[in-house]
Amino acid sequence: MRRIIINTLNKLGHTEVVEAANGREGLDRLAAGPVDVIITDWNMPEMSGIEFIRSFRGNDKLPQVPVLMVTTNAAKDDIVEALRAGVTNYVVKPFTPDTMREKIESVLAG
Amino acid sequence: MQAIGQEQTVAFLVDSTCEVFEKMVLRKLTQGIPIEGDALRPRSNVVATVSFAGAESGIVAFYSTRDAACEIAGALLGMDPAEVNGDMPDAIGEVSNMIAGALRTKMTDAGTPCAISIPTVTVGSDFYTKYVSDVRRVLCPFKMGDQEIFVELIRQKQ
């Protein structure tokens, strides 16, 4: 899914993309330098998307930026859990490039 | 909870497949007529399966040739299909995951909640798949340009 999202971001003109294979690597990348938006999947190896967001939001040393969660799971309870954990907004798979663009613009607009 | 009829579930699966291909693969599919039963499965080099369980149990299976799978992976990854190689199984796994996920959402909204498994992708040339339980199978054919792909609903009989 990571490569698919990167392809979509490239199509939208976002060519400066920092990749991480899992949540732990994501936290390391964030410690190395700020980003404008974080896009994370729900299911990931080693550290789930929810666990990653809770760790990220709970770490004052990391610059707090908007988080978009990508998921196949449109169940209300799970979306509520994600929003409570600190997700700014979510994108349900499958999504069009236009939907991804709208979601990114909405979280950047605050 | 309520049971959804076979016809409705197959319609959900067909809609989910078309939705995934239109939104993510950016390919319009032409639907064929679903085929019920245990007839011989299509000649395929790539088979991806995702299980679902909850109010109902079963499997969603995706079948394609290697060429079709590479075309799909190339479209998802922004690559020439000829250069896809090792990325193809992951891409097809993600396609099957999204099809099953969209089906799960439709089934849940219709009163039949279930969860889905991670996908399994098999690539090869001399194999067949067999489901041990007593199941009901419906194979849904699609045309993607000049390629054929198939999605199957395998439901455990209640």
- The whole-model pTM stands at 0.91
Q: Which of B:115-134 have CB within 8 Å of A?
A: 116, 118
Confidence band of B26 (pLDDT split at 50, 70, 90): very high
Q: Contact A56/A27 with Cβ under 8 angstroms?
A: yes
**Helices marked H in chain B:** 6-20, 66-77, 88-109
Alpha helices in chain A (DSSP H): 2-11, 23-32, 49-57, 76-85, 97-109
Name which CATH class applies to A2-109: alpha beta
Q: Is residue B84 assigned to a domain?
A: yes
User: Which residue of chain A has the CA closest to B115?
Assistant: A73
Residue ranges per structural domain of chain A: 2-109
pLDDT digits (tens, 9 = 90+) for B37-92: 887 677 889 999 999 999 889 999 999 999 999 999 999 999 999 999 889 999 99
CATH number of the domain that residue B30 is part of: 3.40.1550.10
Question: Using a CB-CB distance cutoff of 8 angstroms, which residues of chain B are in contact with residue A11?
Answer: 78
Q: Is the residue at B1 inside a domain? A: no
B82 and B67 Cβ atoms separated by less than 8 Å: no
Q: Is residue B77 part of a domain?
A: yes
C-alpha B154/C-alpha B131 separation (Å) is: 9
Collect all residues from A whose CB is shorter than 8 A from any CB in B: 1, 3-4, 7, 10-11, 43, 72-75, 92-96, 99
B32 in A contact zone (CB under 8 Å): no
How many domains in chain B? 1
A94/B23 CB distance under 8 A: yes
- What is the rounded radius of gyration, in angstroms, for the C-alpha atoms of chain B? 15
- ipTM greater than cut 0.90: no
In this structure, are strands A89-92 and A67-71 parallel, antiparallel, or unpaired?
Answer: parallel
pLDDT over threshold 80, residue B123: yes
B51 lies in which domain range? 6-156
Q: Is the pLDDT of residue A44 over 80?
A: yes
